[in-house]
Structure 1
Amino acid sequence: MQPVQMTPAERAALERLVEHARGDTGQSRRVADFLLAWWNAGQCGSYDLTTAWGVDDTIMDDMCVVFRLASRANSYPETLGCGPQFEAIVRAWRPKLVE
């Protein structure tokens, strides 16, 4: 199976979310939880949709775009070339998983 190509809008939304997840705010944690549920829900935790109640509309718009991307790609983020970025999010928000 050929890897899915991200559209420019999908790539931009994902890059913005990864950048948000690098922060240390409540919204950053919520974005990290969302992204890590795609990375590995079993180890990193699933995503409670009510968590999205705590993010701004612009972040939610990006989350919707990335949710569609994840569903359309039918694969994990590392197959889209995002492994290092997601590994950094794991180190920041789930440090016990890398100890």
Structure 2
Amino acid sequence: MTAISIDVASAKVALDRLIDVARSDTGQSKRVANFLLAWWNGDDWGHFPIADLFGLDREVGLDIARIVGFLAAYPEAIYADQFGRREEIIALVHQWREVVSETT
């Protein structure tokens, strides 16, 4: 059985790796982006189908498990911007979702 570290440092490293994967352009990237954007705001940017884990490399899946384990350990909501990664997540929204700009 593999132990998964879910401390702050491990979650930060996992998030960094996941963002790197999501920035590229593969089927795996799309699945990781789906996870990150569902965490960010699932109502607006979609949800993460759990079966998407089947299409990921083991280490990428374990990084998602690290994030989920980390989030489960805290009673309050924690988002990527609390790791200083807000701009990267916003960039993923623009990369992976159709964003309709508002005109004023």
Q: Bigger radius of gyration, 1 or 2?
A: 2
Structure having the higher helix fraction is 1
TM-score (normalised: structure 1): 0.84
1:19/1:39 CA distance change after superposition, 3 Å = same
Where structure 2 has 5 or more consecutive residues not aligned to the other structure, the ranges are 1-6
Question: Does residue 84 of the first structure (1) align with residue 83 of the second (2)?
Answer: no
CA RMSD, Structure 1 to Structure 2 (Å)? 1.5
Q: Report the number of matched residues.
A: 93
The Cα shift of 1:80 comes to 3.0
Q: Secondary structure at the match of 2:73?
A: helix
Please list the CA deviations of residues 52-89 of structure 1 after superposition, one character each: whole Å capped at 9, or x if unmatched.
Answer: 11001010010100112233352222233221110011
Asked whether the 8 Å contact 2:12–2:83 carries over to 1, the reply is no
Where structure 1 has 5 or more consecutive residues not aligned to the other structure, the ranges are 1-5
Query: Kindly, what percent of the aligned residue pairs are identical?
Result: 34
TM-score (normalised: structure 2): 0.81
The Cα shift of 1:20 comes to 0.2
